[in-house]
C-alpha cells in the first residue's frame, strides 16, 4: 500500500509538472505577408511568439522558397496566411518541410467576400487577393485570426478576442478620421487608374472604383503598345489620378504623367519593409492620407 501511495504521488506530481509546462509554453505562430504579422502580433500580445515565415526584402508575387524557410516552418505550431492567391509559396514551404497536417493553418480570408480586380484591360473577373489593403476587410481577417488562435490555444481565447477588438477599434478610428477629412466634400467622385490591381478593398470603402489597371499582370510592365493604349484610355476616360506603388516604382509612371497631365499618388502595397507590430497602421495611414488628398484635389478642380 505504501508503495502504491508513493507511486500515485509521483505520478500526480509528474502530471502537474507536465500541465504547468504546457501552460507556460507559448505558441509559435508563423505569418506570411507583413500585414498578417502586424495583425497577429497585436492579437497575440505576449501570449505567443510570432515570427515571419520568410525574411524581409522579398517580392510576394514571384517568391521562391529558400532552405531557411523550410527550417523555420518546422518550428511553427500555427501559420497565418492570406490563402486566396497572394502567398501560395507558404503551402509549398509547409509541404517541402514535411509539416503539412502538423502545423495548424489559419486562412485569414475565410469569411471575406472577395472583390474582382477592377479595371482590367480585358474585363476579366479575377478575384483580388489584396484584402489586406483596406480597413473593413482587415478587421474581418483580424477576428478570423483571433478565433483560429483561440481554437488552438483555448486558455487564451478570451485574451485573443479582447486584443482583436482593441486593435480593430484602433483601425476603425483611423478610417473615421479619414472620412472626417472629406465629410464636407460635395461629392465623393474620383476617376482613377492604378498601376497594379491592388486597391479595390481600400477604394470601395469610399464608394470608388478603379477604371483602368496599367500592368497586364502582377509585376509585369506594359509593352510600348500597351502603354500607349493605356494613355489613350486615360485621356478618353478623363482619369484624374493615377495610383502608383511606392515600394515598387515604375519608370513608365512618369511617361504617363507627362503624356496625360494626370495627378499621381503613391500608395503602399504593405508587403515590404520590416516586420513590425505597427507596419500595417503606418502603411494604411499613408494610404488614407494619399486617397483623401486626391479626393480633395479632385473636388476642387
Task: Mention every residue, 6+ apart, whose C-beta is less than 8 A from residue 50.
Answer: 29, 30, 31, 37, 40, 41, 44
Q: What are phi and psi of 194, to 5 degrees?
A: -140, 140
Residue 140's CB is within 10 A of a number of other CB atoms, namely 19
Task: Mention every residue, 6+ apart, whose C-beta is less than 8 A from residue 218.
Answer: 61, 196, 197
- Residue 220 is predicted with a pLDDT of 82
Closest CA to 199 of 120, 259, 262, 132: 132
Q: How confident is the model at residue 10 (pLDDT cuts 50, 70, 90)?
A: very low
**pLDDT score of 244 more than 70:** yes
C-alpha neighbours within 13 Å on the C-beta side of residue 27: 28
- Residue 11 is predicted with a pLDDT of 45
pLDDT, greater one: 188 or 142? 142
Runs of H (alpha helix) within 88-236 = 88-96, 135-152, 157-182, 200-204, 224-236
Q: 66 is written with which cell numbers?
A: 529558400
For the chain, what is the mean pLDDT? 89
Average pLDDT over residues 218-245: 92
Distance CA 44, CA 55 (A): 20
Q: How far is CA 21 from the centre of its chain?
A: 34
- Residue 108 is predicted with a pLDDT of 98
Domain 184-300 fold is Rossmann fold (3.40.50)
Tell me if residue 197 falls in helix, strand or coil: coil
Q: Give the domain ranges of the chain.
A: 25-175, 184-300
Average pLDDT over residues 237-264: 91
- Residue 20 is predicted with a pLDDT of 41
Task: Mention every residue, 6+ apart, whose C-beta is less than 8 A from residue 14.
Answer: none
Tell me if residue 16 falls in helix, strand or coil: helix
- Residue 301 is predicted with a pLDDT of 52
Between 2.40.37.10, 1.10.3720.10, 3.30.70.20, 3.40.50.1980, what CATH number should domain 25-175 receive?
3.40.50.1980
**pLDDT score of 12 more than 80:** no
Q: How confident is the model at residue 16 (pLDDT cuts 50, 70, 90)?
A: very low
Q: 70 is written with which cell numbers?
A: 523550410
Average pLDDT over residues 221-233: 93
Q: How confident is the model at residue 2 (pLDDT cuts 50, 70, 90)?
A: low
Average pLDDT over residues 185-211: 91
**pLDDT score of 263 more than 70:** yes
**pLDDT score of 3 more than 70:** no
Distance CA 163, CA 241 (A): 37
Distance CA 47, CA 40 (A): 11
CA distances from residue 102 to 71, 73, 184 in whole angstroms, order as listed: 14, 10, 53
Average pLDDT over residues 144-162: 98
Q: Checking DSSP bridges between strand 210-213 and strand 27-31, what pairing results, if any?
A: unpaired
pLDDT above 90: percentage of residues in the chain: 76
**pLDDT score of 219 more than 80:** no
**For the segment 110-152, what is each residue's pLDDT rounded down to a tens digit?**
999 999 999 987 777 889 999 999 999 999 999 999 999 999 9
**pLDDT score of 275 more than 90:** yes
Residue 64's CB is within 10 A of a number of other CB atoms, namely 8
- The torsion of the CA quartet 67, 70, 72, 76, rounded to 10 degrees, works out to 180
Residue 87's CB is within 10 A of a number of other CB atoms, namely 24
- Residue 24 is predicted with a pLDDT of 61
Task: List beta partners, residue 213.
Answer: 194
Amino acid at each position: 500500500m505504501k508503495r502504491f501511495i508513493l507511486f500515485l504521488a509521483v505520478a500526480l506530481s509528474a502530471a502537474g509538472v507536465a500541465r504547468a509546462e504546457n501552460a507556460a509554453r507559448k505558441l509559435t505562430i508563423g505569418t506570411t505577408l507583413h500585414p498578417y504579422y502586424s495583425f497577429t502580433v497585436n492579437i497575440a500580445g505576449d501570449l505567443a511568439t510570432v515570427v515571419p515565415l520568410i525574411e524581409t526584402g522579398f517580392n510576394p508575387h514571384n517568391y521562391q522558397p529558400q532552405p531557411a524557410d523550410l527550417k523555420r516552418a518546422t518550428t511553427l505550431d500555427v501559420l497565418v496566411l492570406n490563402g486566396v492567391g497572394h502567398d501560395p509559396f507558404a503551402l509549398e514551404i509547409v509541404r517541402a518541410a514535411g509539416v503539412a497536417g502538423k502545423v495548424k493553418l489559419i486562412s485569414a480570408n475565410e469569411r471575406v467576400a472577395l472583390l474582382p480586380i477592377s479595371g482590367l484591360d480585358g474585363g476579366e473577373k479575377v478575384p483580388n487577393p489584396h484584402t489586406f489593403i483596406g480597413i473593413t476587410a482587415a478587421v474581418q481577417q483580424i477576428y478570423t485570426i483571433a478565433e483560429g488562435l483561440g481554437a488552438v490555444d483555448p486558455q487564451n481565447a478570451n485574451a485573443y478576442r479582447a486584443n482583436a477588438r482593441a486593435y480593430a477599434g484602433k483601425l476603425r478610428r483611423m478610417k473615421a478620421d479619414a472620412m472626417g477629412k472629406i465629410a464636407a466634400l460635395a461629392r465623393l467622385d474620383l476617376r482613377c487608374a492604378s498601376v497594379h490591381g491592388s486597391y479595390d478593398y481600400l477604394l470601395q470603402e469610399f464608394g470608388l472604383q478603379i477604371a483602368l489597371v496599367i500592368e497586364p499582370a502582377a509585376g509585369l510592365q506594359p509593352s510600348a503598345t500597351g502603354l500607349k493604349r493605356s494613355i489613350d484610355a486615360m485621356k478618353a476616360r478623363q482619369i484624374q489620378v493615377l495610383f502608383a506603388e511606392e515600394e515598387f516604382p515604375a519608370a513608365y509612371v512618369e511617361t504617363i504623367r507627362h503624356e496625360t497631365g494626370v495627378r499621381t499618388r503613391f500608395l503602399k502595397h504593405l508587403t515590404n519593409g520590416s516586420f513590425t507590430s505597427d507596419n500595417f497602421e503606418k502603411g494604411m495611414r499613408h494610404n488614407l492620407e494619399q486617397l483623401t488628398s486626391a479626393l480633395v484635389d479632385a473636388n476642387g478642380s
